[in-house]
Structure 1
């Protein structure tokens, strides 16, 4: 099944590039059916997330990538379908086998000339705009040097980054062929996240959920968020030594991610202070995306069910804290801020919270809900908001499509919300460094780059490509 079109678009550095789009269907036929999304999927608005992988020469060919994609779409069949509306107006998956739109483009430059750190300039054209009907789109851009960039865009309502990482690893394994361990098959068992009837939720369970989430109808009218054009997208690097220093300063028992989040929170407060002359917010809300798979897998209810580790979908919650900018800037040490981060992350990182959240959504349906962290939390519209989503599980070292691991890889999430979004990931160098994707207001980006004690460093091409 191939539908082919040819179009003219602009490639990297605004050079014209001819593109050809085909549709890659699963290698085996599929009985068309509908697959419900889970209650936790229903907490996600229609957002598109992208990821891109840079391969220097030798690089996998588009033909090899297509052949492997057709194979991996058999176990990952929902990705070859589309999102449609149910009878109640909620999203659900039509598993039709329509396939994945696959675009081939020719870049007008050398791969090493891409300015990867300046995402809006160097990356935006290398990831596809998701087709309205499909779940995933792929774009492969070939450069004069023989290198390529593989870009993917997917519907966040269908899966989170953890799930899409499973797919990427399976795709790479299919391209390599035999000789290595076969990645475990994904599971789409919605019963793993089925609501309980009756629900044994407690007052404390409900109090936390009500703090973190709200029916969309109860959210007060917000000022229109800044457009995508006013937000700035960057990718930085952070050295392993700086990460370790942050963790040491944050105190015993704090993870690297908690320490990093505390540092970022203090920088956010400084960006708010810098803009106070323009009546900027005086409260700072910091949220963190927490994956519930490991928490639920270890619970007595699941008895160590390995299926949760292979579950494909969204298993996320977003706890947050709100502190005044003055306290963050002037009165609190990094260790004190990290202690607060640890407190509200630990409070939500439990099987009881995730099970209660599933039940809460069930009682609310079909009314939609929203995460309060995106809206400033208890600080409301007067708070500046930023969300940290850990990409430390990004399996960059396992994304060898038969010609070697990528020289660089990152997620890309230029979402239309007003809150900032920051995602740290392991560097493809495998040396303990991080690369950090940032989507934020210009005021915060200036602080990240200019603050005396910042750990955010420019991403130089010499760092990525080794010259």
Structure 2
């Protein structure tokens, strides 16, 4: 079959098939929750890199861990995992009101097998635009989930997924990935499991609007009906100096500690800033530096998961929300003038981060957001941070992946040597996701999708903080 070539890297597709749930499923409709309806039709990728299993396990190369056998294990486990995570085998269809709904019909997951003519250690992790995008992470053609397993010259393997963000947030995807991996692992005595260890909850009634609703005015500052947006301009071509690019860095635990120390150098009311708040404040200043000399606002949003907020101490609801599958997200943001972000100390900027985050850490915020969506249906809404173009000043979003369960995605041939989300989502706003380093030493791995001028500024002013991710760092 055909291949995709980029420089010296060629990825050839060797087989394509559809994997369906191993048990029959009664076809049914599943409405999206109000919080799902806030997501535009955008896909998210994630990939996992595994070394040659014979080298990883000390195998004798007898073929028991060949690419073919690993792929069969992946497919069989996927078919079993889809029994519980059946939404991933369905389709998104518009209803009579023009809103997306889930048709749970077990139409299946596209599963691609491929071969890449490269060694794992030649994969340029620092620049995933060259080696990952469109090659190792599949382009979803239909349905909700696509999977790709790519064999490498060294016997290594890359397993990747692309999923529809309207159906799942990262928390939900992580649940599925861990469950799929556990289902694939051999058991003693050998029992064929028909359902994965984790049982997801699809009760979108947990996110039902109130009657009557109650909407705080601040929500109108954070979200906007799409009917009020002007037509979106096409993105500039990649030859322009300000196009969005993806990079992966690592930040040492020492640098993170230094950021947090500076952010806490002048605490207000004794409040301590978290590592994430300190990191976001530092990044906010760096992005502002790339717009130096312009009198514009630099906007930064931070993704907040509402599962614990909506539990509000209720143990039963906490258990349900802990396994809830879907989107339970809000994106509060702040905007400050370039000169203000550059002149003020990191402690002040971190205080501003803390202040706008405070609006979204209470149960009432998420209940109000559910009511806000209900009040505007069927017109879809969008987080305002995503609707700001470059003319209005730079904008970017930070989404914490610090609970990314990389080490738990072991399909039976060892833990991944590296994994990352991959989200070049195609909008005007940037996207940054910090994740725990596979080194397990407190360092962070940071996926960035920012404007080229912003990346260049970050590398020139903070190259000692954001270091290009290499296989030497991963000690591979």
Q: Provide TM-score, normalisation by structure 2.
A: 0.90
Pick the aligned partner of 1:347 from 348, 352, 359.
359
3-state SS in 1 of match to 2:446: strand
Aligned counterpart for 2:405 among listed residues 395, 409, 426: 395
Q: 2:104 aligns with which of 95, 104, 124?
A: 95
Structure 2 distance, partners of 1:143, 1:224, is 36
The C-alpha deviation readout for 1:14-63, integer Å capped at 9, x for no partner, is 32524211111101011111111100000000001000000011077111
Cα distance, 1:286 vs. partner? 0.7
C-alpha separation between the residues in 1 aligned to 2:8 and 2:378?
A: 45
Q: State the secondary structure of the residue aligned to 1:87.
A: coil
**Structure 1: unaligned runs, 5 residues or longer:** 1-5
State the partner residue of 1:186: 200
- Please give the alpha-carbon distance, in whole angstroms, between the structure 1 residues aligned to 2:230 and 2:81: 44
2:27 is aligned to 32
| Aligned mate of 2:169, from 151, 160, 163 | 160
Number of the residue aligned with 1:257: 276
Secondary structure, counterpart of 2:44 in structure 1: strand
Q: How far has the Cα of 1:346 moved from its partner?
A: 1.3
251-260 vs 262-271, which deviates more?
A: 251-260
| Map 1:111-130 → 2, pairs under 5 A | 111-124=120-133, 125-130=135-140
The change in CA–CA distance for 1:435 and 1:340 in structure 2 (over 3 A counts) is same
| Corresponding position of 2:467 | 457
Match of 2:332 in 1: 319
Per the TM alignment, residue 290 of structure 1 is displaced from its structure 2 partner at its CA by 0.6
Which residue pairs with 1:3 in the alignment? none
Cα-to-partner distance string for 1:403-430 (whole Å, 9 max, x where unaligned): 1110000000011111111000111121
Q: Deviations over 1:241-293 (max 9, x none)?
A: 111111111115111111100000000000111xx5xxx66210011111100
Q: What TM-score do you get using the length of structure 1 for normalisation?
A: 0.91
Match of 2:40 among 39, 45, 48: 45
1:55–1:148 CA contact under 8 A, matched in 2: yes
Q: Is the 8 A contact 1:222 1:381 kept in 2?
A: no
Q: Deviations over 1:198-223 (max 9, x none)?
A: 22x1xxx4211101001112224554
Q: Which residue of structure 1 lines up, in the alignment, with residue 268 of structure 2?
A: none
1:375/1:381 contact within 8 Å kept = no
Q: 1:286 aligns with which of 275, 279, 300?
A: 300
| 1:440 equivalent among 428, 445, 450 | 450
**Does the Cα contact within 8 Å between 2:435 and 2:445 map onto a contact in 1?**
yes
For 2:439, the equivalent position in structure 1 comes to 429
Distance 1:127 1:86, change over 3 A: same
Answer yes or no: is the 8 Å Cα contact 1:12–1:114 preserved in 2: no
Q: 1:244 to 1:183 in 2, by over 3 A?
A: farther
CA contact (8 A) 1:56 1:407 kept: yes
Q: How many residues align?
A: 447
How far did 1:381 drift? 4.2
Please give the root-mean-square deviation of Cα atoms over the aligned residues, in Å. 2.1
Structure 1 residues 351 and 33: CA distance shift in structure 2, 3 A: same
